[in-house]
Amino acid sequence: MERAPRGRHRSLSGALLASFALVGCETAPAGSSPGDVDRPRLLATDTVAAEWLTSGRDFGETRYSPLGRIHVMNAAAVGLAWEYEWRSHVGSVHWGLEATPVVVDGVMYAPGSWGSVAALDATTGETVWRYDPDVDPSYSRKGCCGPINRGLEVWEGRVFVGTFDGYLVALDAATGEEIWRVDTFLDRSLSYTSTGSPQIAGDVVVLGNAGGDFGVRGYITAYDLETGEERWRFFTVPGNPADGFEHPELEVAAETWDPNSAWEGGLGGTVWGEMAYDPVLDLLYVGTGNSYPYPIWHRSPSGGDNLYLVSILAIDPKSGRLVWHYQTVPAEIWDYTATQNIILSTVEIDGRPRDVLLQAPKNGFFYVLDRATGELLRAKNFVTVNWTLGIDMETGRPIPDPAADYRGEPRVVFPSSAGGHNWQPMSFNPQTGIAYIPAREQAMLWRSLEEFDHRPEVAYEGFEASWPPFPGEYAHLAEGLPDIGPNEFLLAWDPVAGRELWRVPRGSMWNGGTLVTAGNLVIQGTAVGTLDFHQADSGERLHSIHLGTGVMAGPMTYEVDGVQYVAVMAGYGGPRGAAYPLGSAAYDYESVGRLLVFKLDGGEVPLPPPQASPSTPEPPDLALDAALVRAGAELFGVHCSICHRASDEHLSAYPDLRRMEGGGWESFDAVVLGGGLAANGMAAFGDLLTMEDVTAIRHYLTSEQRRLWEAESAADAAPDAGAVPDR
């Protein structure tokens, strides 16, 4: 295996590579080379149906395909064509797969965990090349949700991808060799990560970052496509005004912040979702993330809108200057990010066509904006909301509801921080004007901390919250409210009329993104491990393929030699690390990441190995101290549970520390403080935890292990012993 600079790649013979320019895709330009995507070709995607050239297929990122060989009358005949098992080359955990592949001239470019990329023959799955970045496995500690990746860009013979540790890489589309590699992080001592897709915008490629919950400052950076040289950087929130402003928009933004804001915490606003680019207007559209900390009384004590948090920004990609902005939730306090996927299309409003931007962010409203000016054209809630009394269409601002302000007392607020729509991409059919949203209705109980102290490298945002069902002392707060959930569903929504057309219940877990096609189909993967085909005009389920692997990513479709394929990346990561909710496919099968590709008259999907039922070894003989147990529970929740989240409601891809064998206990201190398992992704925490802290965590875990062991022993001794209580 040859090595590329700072990354690993594997490639096949030159003869096979050369053949991909001639793969029988009817729409491939004569003599095209691998990765041959440019502006004219991208603008022609409506007539070049066979290709899937961006994460959302076209420049509008609609996730609509004009292909119709697979349709409502034959969808039940769809089966497996081939699969690619996605083994991570970094660490030992099966990380989630959350991206949508790109297909260009018969070659599929698929991004995986850490920023890896596989180039595959789109008809057989045979490997063309594989790229794996050199990332320190212990870097996973810096991320909220695992070292996942949500997309790549293919442009003029190059593949652009961001690595989890913040490098933007340009790869040769033919070989996988690195052409250039740039560091996009300002400060590597902070918990920045890179999980989103780059975006081509004119002659630059733009990348954002994640980490808002860990106390960082959001920004995007544009780089020259040819050389990787930095062109410009746009910060989404100001820094301390005493230090000056990096660009003029920040001086305007600073007027909406308290001069004594929590500048040391970065303030958030990270750009970790999908961007979009209009090549006709030459505008880059960016959705920004949540605040840090969440409560504005800790963040910006005197209030203010706090620009440009949870906003949609239109930026001139030549200069990096802001053209317009729309803030979805001024002074937001509920983690209502506007990083959900952005779609560009044309719809008829008041009798005339309007070029619009569509977004359904976490706050539960579906927005339709004029994409040239930012004018708000439509805003209607698609799920239950009570954080606002509605949107003032004259000003574009939400009307505050004091009942959702949790500064003085706990409040139950719709939607939860998971949002009415999270990152899983929605799709939009420009022919019918209908959007298909992986939606969620759920309330959250919010309680503010009396004081806030910034804790670098820890997801600590100044509040306490509870997911349903709420703790007993707060259960009465849900009385008289709509169903507090969680309830997930596939939703068909008319954004112009602002109304629901139909919904299909999905249960309470994290289901996948959507794809809509000219075959009158909506396709979605689910947390329970199926790929479902629905009739787009009615919601009727026509076919369900059992995968045995949960799906969070959005499906895609393409055609080669007259055969239509449907592909989806299956691998369940969970919203907060590798957490598998009760009832998800990972409760029954090992959650091994896979790329699955289907066609008409395909075969059965082989199921992963069955998940072993957890059993608890006899706990260590430790005299428990109640105070240490309580302290350890708090420390575990802050530092450990983001990964080791196994509970009575979740399994985890990480070891369940409540069920450690004797050897695990013996090495526990060395692993936690000294990084004894850093090669497997378990970072050292000696800079954050003391020996006394680790002792407290020992007491907490031992108490949990004792509880489980006693319950299982009692169940085993019962005449009609049932299932393990934890399952």
Reported as a single tens digit per residue, the pLDDT across 336-395 is 999 999 999 999 999 999 999 999 999 999 999 999 999 999 999 999 999 999 999 999
* Architecture category of domain 3-27+37-74+96-600 in CATH: 8 Propeller (2.140)
- Cβ pair 161, 117 in contact under 8 A: yes
Higher pLDDT, 182 or 90: 182
Question: Which residue has better confidence, 653 or 687?
Answer: 687
Domain ranges of the chain: 3-27+37-74+96-600, 626-717
Q: Decide whether 3-27+37-74+96-600 matches 626-717 in CATH topology.
A: no
pLDDT digits (tens, 9 = 90+) for 2-52: 333 446 554 443 333 333 333 334 445 555 789 999 999 999 987 889 999
- pLDDT of 12 reads 41
Q: Measured between alpha carbons, how far is 251 from 274 in angstroms, rounded to an integer?
A: 26
Residue 277, pLDDT score: 98
Per the model's pLDDT, the better-predicted residue between 147 and 280 turns out to be: 280
Answer whether residue 181 shows pLDDT above 50.
yes
Q: Is the pLDDT at 100 greater than 50, yes or no?
A: yes
| Residue percentage of the chain with pLDDT more than 70 | 90
* Catalytic residue IDs: 335
**Sheet harboring 219-224: ordered strands across?**
199-201, 204-207, 219-224, 230-235
Q: Which residue has the higher pLDDT, 165 or 678?
A: 165
Q: Phi then psi for 238, rounded to 5 degrees?
A: -75, 160
- The percentage of residues in the chain with a pLDDT greater than 90, rounded to a whole number, is 67
573: Cα within 13 Å, side-chain hemisphere: 30
Query: Assign residue 63 a region: left if phi > 0, alpha if psi is -120 to 50, beta otherwise?
Result: left
| Cα–Cα nearest to 269, from 199, 207, 208 | 208
H/E/C letters for each residue in 23-85? CCCCCCCCCCCCCCCCHHHHHCCCCCCCCECCCCCCCCCCCEECCCCCCCCCHHHEEEEEEEE
**Displacement of CA 509 from its chain's centroid (Å):** 14
Predicted pLDDT at 25: 40
State the angle between helix axes of 691-717 and 626-639 in degrees (0 to 180), rounded to the nearest 10. Answer: 100
In which band, very low, low, confident or very high, does the pLDDT at 214 lie, cut at 50, 70 and 90? confident
Q: What are phi and psi of 385, to 5 degrees?
A: -135, 145
Contact 266, 309 (CB under 8 A): no
Beta bridge partners of 107: 104, 121
Q: Taking residues 238-250, what's their average pLDDT?
A: 97
Q: In this structure, are residues 652 and 644 in contact, taking their beta carbons and an 8 Å threshold?
A: yes
Q: What gap in Å lies between CA 54 and CA 683, rounded to an integer?
A: 35
Residues 6+ apart with CB under 8 A from 34: 17, 20, 21, 104, 105, 107, 119, 157, 173, 174
Mean pLDDT of 137-160: 87
User: Would the pLDDT of 172 be above 50?
Assistant: yes
* Residue 286 and residue 313 in contact, taking contact as beta carbons nearer than 8 Å: yes
The better pLDDT of the pair 214, 160 is held by: 160
| Mean pLDDT value across the chain | 89
**How is domain 626-717 classified at the CATH fold level?**
Cytochrome Bc1 Complex; Chain D, domain 2 (1.10.760)
What confidence category does residue 613 fall into, taking pLDDT thresholds of 50, 70 and 90?
confident
User: What average pLDDT does this structure show over 536-555?
Assistant: 96
Query: pLDDT value at position 15?
Result: 35
Greater pLDDT, 499 or 637: 499
Residue reference for tokens 């300002």: 186
Contact 625, 686 (CB under 8 A): no
Backbone angle region of 373, left / alpha / beta, with phi > 0 → left and psi within -120 to 50 → alpha: alpha
Q: What backbone phi and psi angles, to 5 degrees, belong to 65? A: -115, 135
Phi then psi dihedrals of residue 153, to 5 deg: -125, 140
- pLDDT of 503 strictly over 60: yes
Considering Cα of 212, then 217, then 220, then 222, what sign does the dihedral take?
Answer: negative
What lies within 8 Å, CB to CB, of 15 at 6+ separation is none
Cα separation, 20 vs 14, in Å, equals 10
Sequence-distant (≥ 6) Cβ neighbours of residue 320 within 8 angstroms: 222, 231, 232, 233, 234, 247
Pairwise CA distance, residues 682 & 695, whole Å: 18
Q: What 3-state class would DSSP assign to 662?
A: helix
pLDDT of the residue at 289 = 97
Which tokens hold the place of 650? Answer: 């979740």
Residue tagged 């004797």 (tokens) = 662
Find the mean pLDDT for residues 289-293.
95
- pLDDT tens digit sequence for 567-609: 999 987 654 445 666 677 777 888 788 999 999 999 999 998 8
Contact 226, 157 (CB under 8 A): no
Positive/negative CA dihedral, 692, 697, 698, 702: positive
Mean pLDDT of 602-617: 87
